[in-house]
């Protein structure tokens, strides 16, 4: 899901006449890398959002 969101924002950034300066998320599991095939795990801090 985060990959789709990142791809969308990249396309949006290329086509809008204004600069996107901030993206707000709730840092839920789907964006923070804490949810994977093996279940809950600690976040690495290395994620797009």
pLDDT in tens, 1-49: 667 888 998 999 999 999 988 888 776 666 666 665 666 666 666 666 6
- List, in order, residues 6 or more apart from 18 with CB less than 8 Å away: none
CB atoms within 10 A of CB 25: 12
CB 23 within 8 A of CB 9: yes
pTM of the model: 0.51
pLDDT score, position 23: 81
Domain that residue 24 falls in: 2-40
pLDDT score, position 14: 94
In a domain, 33, yes or no: yes
| Total domains, the chain | 1
């Amino acid at each position: 899901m985060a990959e789709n969101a990142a791809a969308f924002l990249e396309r949006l950034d290329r086509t809008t006449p204004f600069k996107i300066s901030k993206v707000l998320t709730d840092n839920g599991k789907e964006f923070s890398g804490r949810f994977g095939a093996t279940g809950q795990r600690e976040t690495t801090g290395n994620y797009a959002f």
